Amino acid sequence: MKDLKEKTIRGGLARMVAQIANFVFRIGSLMIMARLLAPEDFGLVGMVTAFTGVLNLFRDFGLSTATVQRENVSDEELSTLFWINILVGSLLAVCALVFSPIVVRIYHEPRLLGITMVLSLGFLFNALGVQHSALLQRHLRFTALAVINVASLVISTAVAMGMAKLGYGYWALVVQTVILPLTTTLGVWIAAAWMPGKPHYGKEIRSMMKFGGTLTLNGLVVYVGYNMDKVLLGRYWGAEDLGLYGRAYQLINIPTDNLNQSVGEVAFSAL
């Protein structure tokens, strides 16, 4: 219990420091990107992310939380969950590609087709790192996770700023959105030092999928409640208005999101 207490405190401190750094960096980068790009650029990406965000709720199907929550998890079960996540991520990427013409039709904006196609890669990149990240959380290695998250944010933002400076417009935001999960996944693979094996479906896996499915359903209801305004705003008022609203919405939510995430992850893993 003493060791658990010390690990929890260290993990909480590391997570808080990382979130503070994350907050400062996001605010600064948002101000710089707002200077380099037009509100329309943010609005175009916001139109797509309002839809891909729904698919994003299914990216791990709650299985990362199930991995952390279980009292005992075997290597065989972890491997099975890893391949399930890969399957889910691949299906979500295909769904994004299939529905991309519908997104274009809803908003009457042909540029959204290419944006949606590129952003679909993010589902596969995320899926590759779900169980590795959960493994680090399970062992309360929040210092490693903090370093990975901050480094990934810095790299993706630096690339986006460079592209914005060179005049790539909204593509700078698209590439940033894809590079972030890619660099995060590479980081957690290195830190976890775990290689998945062959899948094996059994009773415990069914139980974990049921647990994850309940969490996913809850997240879906909450997401729809929080994002319907953005969908309607983009549909009836256009990219520029949605871009301005989206930046203001992000700014006001950064402090509470960071605090909830840092405290929640550490407390859940410790419990």
The pLDDT of residue 64 is 79
Distance CA 195, CA 79 (A): 8
Tens digit of pLDDT at every position of the chain (271 positions): 667 777 777 777 777 788 788 878 888 888 888 888 888 888 888 888 877 777 777 777 777 788 887 778 888 888 888 998 899 889 989 988 888 888 888 888 888 898 989 998 988 999 999 889 988 988 888 888 889 988 999 999 999 999 999 988 889 999 999 999 999 999 999 999 889 988 777 777 777 778 888 888 887 788 778 777 777 777 788 777 777 787 788 777 777 776 777 677 777 777 7
Nearest alpha-carbon partner for 223 in 49, 15, 20: 49
Q: Which residue has the tokens 């509470």?
A: 256
H or E stretch including 14? Answer: helix 2-36
The pLDDT of residue 183 is 95
Q: Which residue has the tokens 């299906």?
A: 91
SS3 label, residue 21: helix
The pLDDT of residue 218 is 83
For residue 256, the Cα-to-chain-centroid distance in whole angstroms is: 17
Distance CA 130, CA 90 (A): 13
The pLDDT of residue 60 is 74
Nearest alpha-carbon partner for 100 in 124, 120, 116: 116
The secondary structure of residue 166, as a DSSP letter, is T
For residue 114, the Cα-to-chain-centroid distance in whole angstroms is: 20
SS3 label, residue 47: helix
Structure tokens at 255: 């402090």
Q: Are 10 and 143 in contact (CB under 8 A)?
A: yes
pTM of the model: 0.77
Nearest alpha-carbon partner for 126 in 106, 96, 160: 96
Encoded amino acid at 202, one letter: G
Q: Are 193 and 144 in contact (CB under 8 A)?
A: no
H or E stretch including 142? Answer: helix 142-165
Distance CA 222, CA 239 (A): 24
Q: Which residue has the tokens 């209801």?
A: 221
The pLDDT of residue 2 is 65
The pLDDT of residue 258 is 67
Longest dimension (CA), the chain: 59
The pLDDT of residue 182 is 94
Other CB atoms within a 10 A radius of the CB of residue 54 amount to: 17
Which residues, including other chains, have CB under 8 Å from residue 156's CB and lie 6 or more apart? 176, 177, 179, 180, 183
Q: Are 18 and 152 in contact (CB under 8 A)?
A: no
Q: Which residues of 210-242 are buried (b: 16+ CB within 10 A; e: fewer)?
A: ebbeebbeeeeeeeeeebeebbebbeeebbeeb
